[in-house]
Structure 1
């Protein structure tokens, strides 16, 4: 039982760390220990390490650490790309080493040896396409075409020049401080890809997330079928009921079956738990980006809209408060009115509650056109090329 509890604790700790790292900033976890763990993983641990390095090694050791930080966080580097390849390669290796000897089995055919390799191969291909494709770099040669493709809405995007590139900034573009370039329809900079996610590779990025979710779920189901096949082939249920006298019911058999699986196939169960947690995180990440794509909004724009709507709400609240104050001062100069019923005053909505701030996204052209823009970017369409030749 010690090994079983160790595996359970390991799985719970892995889930806690992954959820805290990827989801600790979500509003639902605000003020909870999940947020505090996220802060420790992303900032606190590094800050304590930096203080220790300065204390133990002095300024020279601190400068070396700052140089490493600059390389890893502020400049393009392949560190996370190598970690991704290590994770996917290591996971596939452990699956192959621990489970391929049971394939073909009672529920799985030998074909799954090759389909699993194909699934991982496609995952790596999508990773390479997203990592090394042009996200839509804006230059002095093509900025006019991007300006014609994405008009300014004069709300969150207005006509101005990039202070670094010294060229006009098209709407929906952003200068990436890590890659040191302006990117059209900028979504975010992805460290795992060592590349920006923009107009030309957002489709690859979405396919990458979806395919990895499907691969993780496929791995969970395949390993579950392997274990189910071992139960059938070794006649575990029959042995438990016939030789150990255990009642043939799910409630009676489940603890003994789980105990047997944890002791005999702990590697497979550990991998299943890891893949299940990753698949849940990928499902949430894909759902978030799919919602953005369906409304033709980028991650960068979503933050801009939040700031704009919050500012507009504050302005309207200030105006409503000023009007209410002006109205109350005007009533002082009038005759005393009959006192309003307390029930009417209680149920009457405040003017501040009636405020409504509308998000006017001119780039939202309906979900079909929005999906088409992700799959077939404006910059590679024929009309884009015609405009380019005309402007030339």
Structure 2
């Protein structure tokens, strides 16, 4: 019984660590233990580690660690790609080792031995496509094509030159400091793919997220059917109700059935928990990026819009305050104006309430259907924009 509780506590601890590491920065977890654990895992633990290395090995040891950090975080490297392949390969190996001996079962057919391999194979194919496809690198010979595809909105994008590449910078593009290249419709740099996510591989990235979410759900359901089949074939319910005289109700049987599962199929239970957690994380990540695609916005642009709206709101509030102050001064200088009572002054609207609201005018949002079509068929790859290439001059 002690071993079973250890497994349960291990699963809960794993869940807390994984959720804290991946989701601890979300606003919903602000000022909670999840946020504190996230800060320790991402910043605090590394700071303490650097201090220990400095005490034990001096400045040379610290510089060596910082050089490793630069290699891992500030330049392209396949470390996370290798970790991804290890996770997928290791998980599938454990699933095959622990579950394939029960397939076919009472509720699951033998074809799932092959469909599971096909599902993992398609996931690996999407991973390779996202990792090695051109994200939309802007070069001297194709910059005019991207300029035609993405005109400036003169709000968050205006005509300028990339200081690194020394070429005109199309709207929605960004120079990736890790890959050292300009990427059209830049979304973010993905360490798991060791590649930027841009105009021409966003479709593969979205398919990768959706497919892996579905594969995780498939794994949870398949393992659940395997366990349900073993429960049926072992006649556990019959034994509990007939020989142990336990009431035939869900509340009475559930603890004993769960104890039997954890004691007999602990590996399968942990696999189901792991796949369910990953499925939830992938669902959240896919949902976030899907909402961006539906409005034709990128992750990079969300920060630009936040900065622009914040700046415009402060500017409008300053204008409203200035106008109110000017009106107040004019009122004080006028002898004819009656003195305002304290009661009316208390309920008077704040000048900030008169500030004009800031409206986000996304020029690139063309409607749900066109936005999705733009992800599937990138603008710069269409023949209509290729014909405009010769008409666009560099500024």
TM-score of Structure 1 vs Structure 2, range by shorter chain: over 0.9
| 1:370-381 superposed matches below 5 A | 370-381=371-382
Q: Which residue of 1 aligns with 2:263?
A: 263
Q: Output the CA distance in 1 between the equivalents of 2:135 and 2:340.
A: 67
| 1:60-71 superposed matches below 5 A | 60-71=60-71
**What secondary structure does 1:353 align onto?**
helix
Farther off after superposition, 263-272 or 14-23 = 14-23
Alpha-carbon distance change, 349 to 206 in structure 1, aligned in 2, over 3 angstroms: farther
Unaligned runs of at least 5 residues, structure 2: none
**What secondary structure does 1:196 align onto?**
strand
| 1:253-292 superposed matches below 5 A | 253-292=253-292
Q: Which residue of 2 aligns with 1:335?
A: 337
Q: Output the CA distance in 1 between the equivalents of 2:389 and 2:114.
A: 46
Q: Which residue of 2 aligns with 1:122?
A: 122
CA shift, 1:5, in A, is 1.6
Alpha-carbon distance change, 269 to 386 in structure 1, aligned in 2, over 3 angstroms: same
Q: Output the CA distance in 1 between the equivalents of 2:323 and 2:12.
A: 55
Q: Output the CA distance in 1 between the equivalents of 2:303 and 2:85.
A: 31
Q: Which residue of 2 aligns with 1:359?
A: 360
| 1:15-30 superposed matches below 5 A | 15-30=15-30
Q: Which residue of 2 aligns with 1:252?
A: 252
Native 8 Å contact 2:148 2:389 kept in 1? no
Q: Output the CA distance in 2 between the equivalents of 1:316 and 1:387.
A: 39
The answer to whether structure 1 residue 305 and structure 2 residue 305 are counterparts is yes
CA shift, 1:19, in A, is 1.4
Farther off after superposition, 270-279 or 56-65 = 56-65
Alpha-carbon distance change, 390 to 317 in structure 1, aligned in 2, over 3 angstroms: closer
Farther off after superposition, 322-331 or 19-28 = 322-331
Alpha-carbon distance change, 325 to 89 in structure 1, aligned in 2, over 3 angstroms: same
Q: Output the CA distance in 2 between the equivalents of 1:195 and 1:151.
A: 25
Q: Output the CA distance in 1 between the equivalents of 2:318 and 2:30.
A: 28
Q: Which residue of 1 aligns with 2:206?
A: 206
Q: Which residue of 1 aligns with 2:102?
A: 102
Q: Which residue of 1 aligns with 2:180?
A: 180
CA shift, 1:57, in A, is 1.2
| 1:10-159 superposed matches below 5 A | 10-159=10-159
CA shift, 1:339, in A, is 3.5
CA shift, 1:145, in A, is 1.1
CA shift, 1:102, in A, is 0.5
CA shift, 1:390, in A, is 5.8
Q: Output the CA distance in 2 between the equivalents of 1:10 and 1:317.
A: 52
Native 8 Å contact 2:213 2:279 kept in 1? yes
CA shift, 1:328, in A, is 2.4
Aligned residues: 390
> Cα deviations across residues 78-97 of structure 1 (Å, max 9, x unaligned)?
00000000001111111111
CA shift, 1:54, in A, is 1.6
> Cα deviations across residues 307-355 of structure 1 (Å, max 9, x unaligned)?
110111111111111222222223323432564866x964x65342354
CA shift, 1:171, in A, is 0.4
**What secondary structure does 1:364 align onto?**
coil
**What secondary structure does 2:175 align onto?**
strand
> Cα deviations across residues 38-95 of structure 1 (Å, max 9, x unaligned)?
1111111111111111211122222221211111000100000000000011111111
> Cα deviations across residues 124-149 of structure 1 (Å, max 9, x unaligned)?
10000000000000011111111111
Q: Which residue of 2 aligns with 1:321?
A: 321
Unaligned runs of at least 5 residues, structure 1: none
Farther off after superposition, 145-154 or 37-46 = 37-46
RMSD over equivalenced CA pairs, Å: 1.6
**What secondary structure does 1:352 align onto?**
helix
Q: Output the CA distance in 2 between the equivalents of 1:354 and 1:370.
A: 35
Q: Output the CA distance in 2 between the equivalents of 1:157 and 1:316.
A: 21
Q: Output the CA distance in 2 between the equivalents of 1:163 and 1:218.
A: 48
CA shift, 1:26, in A, is 1.4
Q: Output the CA distance in 2 between the equivalents of 1:267 and 1:187.
A: 38
Farther off after superposition, 245-254 or 12-21 = 12-21
CA shift, 1:22, in A, is 1.5
Farther off after superposition, 3-12 or 152-161 = 3-12
Q: Which residue of 1 aligns with 2:384?
A: 383
TM-score by length of 2: 0.95
